Amino acid sequence: MSDLLAWSTDLHLNFVDEEAGRTFARAVNTARPRAFVITGDTAESRSLAACLGWLAEEIDAPVYFVLGNHDFYRDAIPPVRALAAGLSATHPGLVYASAQPAVALAPGVGLVGVDGWGDARLGDALRSEVRLNDFRLIAELQGLDHWGLIARLKALGDAEAASLAPRLEAALAEFTSVLVLTHVPPFAEACWHEGAPSAPDWMPFFTCKAVGDVLLAAAARHPDRRIRVLCGHTHSPGEVRLRDNLEVWTGGARYGHPAFQLLPVEF
Ligand SMILES: [Fe+2]
């Protein structure tokens, strides 16, 4: 078995046709990874099942995924999460990691997932004039004034933190190294935009501080464990070490050009 993971983020497979999607999946399979991990924005709600199906059918390794904001477009959050959990239950080897306890990738190495949400806490949400498509294409974010939107985003971030905290704690009790999959960068330092941190008006919607706080607390409680976070959302790559035992890799992406990278399973 290979000692490598294949990792993709922000594939947006709804922007390519089925042949291109399956060709991409076969390229991943050719690398013979131990697992294929996806950190969100695979497609949109109406295309998610088909696109994940291409991946599950073509790739022999287990496929672990979390959902990103685009995956909820044109629907609401609970039904898309239910769809993802249903796909996970019906496709062998396809795992919605946000709805599962930690799983073992290798001896001593575990994986846990959480979708994450831009929670309007970092940067300057109050003065930001950024209006994402999220705010008109995701049911929970529609029709809110600016204050209402910020409150809703904070609540969504808090729910993600609450989902991650106990599963991460259990993972750190069981594994020496824990890989965390999430869509939204959990720290300002990991919110890369073309090689620099995102601007204060974009930062609130491209970081999930609540999840970051869970990660920092866990890293402090377990100095003998290592945590590596994989995330995406900004489409700009970068790596940052927050603590001796906590690092965040943000993956790059281009619309219409699905790509993956290989990294060692063990760290
Ligand atoms: Fe995203």
Q: Residue range 95-99: average pLDDT?
A: 98
pLDDT on residue 78: 98
Nearest to 239 by CA among 225, 229, 226, 254: 229
Q: Ligand 1: distance of its center to the CA of 258 in Å?
A: 14
Q: What's the count of helices (H) and strands (E) in the chain, helices before strands?
A: 6, 13
User: How many angstroms separate the alpha carbon of residue 190 from the centre of ligand 1?
Assistant: 14
Token pair recorded at residue 121: 């806490």
Report all structural domains of the chain as residue ranges with CATH numbers, in order of start: 4-264 (3.60.21.10)
pLDDT of residue 228: 98
The pLDDT of residue 196 is 87
Distance 9 CA to ligand 1 centre (A): 9
Inform me whether the pLDDT recorded for 8 exceeds 70: yes
How many whole angstroms from 138 Cα to the centroid of ligand 1? 13
Which tokens hold the place of 122? 């970092």
What separation in Å is there between the alpha carbon of 264 and the centre of ligand 1? 25
Q: Which two tokens stand for residue 63?
A: 């496929």
C-alpha 127 – ligand 1 centre gap (Å): 21
Cα(58)–Cα(222) distance, integer angstroms: 38
The Å distance, Cα 64 to ligand 1 centre, comes to: 17
Mean pLDDT over all residues of the chain? Answer: 97
- Confidence band, pLDDT 50/70/90 cuts, at residue 76: very high
Residue showing tokens 């600016």: 146
8 A C-beta contact, residue 229 and residue 249: yes
Give the residue from 28, 9, 23, 67 showing the smallest Cα distance to 234.
9
**Residue partners of 163: CB distance under 8 A and separation at least 6:** 98, 114
Distance 175 CA to ligand 1 centre (A): 29
Instruction: Give phi and psi for 233, each to the nearest 5.
Output: 80, -40
Q: Residue 194: what pLDDT?
A: 87
Q: How far is the CA of 267 from the centre of ligand 1 (A)?
A: 26
Q: Compute the distance from residue 1 Cα to the ligand 1 centre, in Å.
A: 32
Residue 246 CA to ligand 1 centre (angstroms)? 22
Degrees (nearest 5) of the Cα angle 180, 98, 219? Answer: 30
Mean pLDDT over 161-168 rounds to 98
Q: Residue 208 has what pLDDT? A: 98
Model confidence at 2, pLDDT cuts 50, 70, 90, reads confident
Q: How far is the CA of 206 from the centre of ligand 1 (A)?
A: 8
pLDDT at residue 1, as a whole number: 66
Write down the pTM of the prediction: 0.98
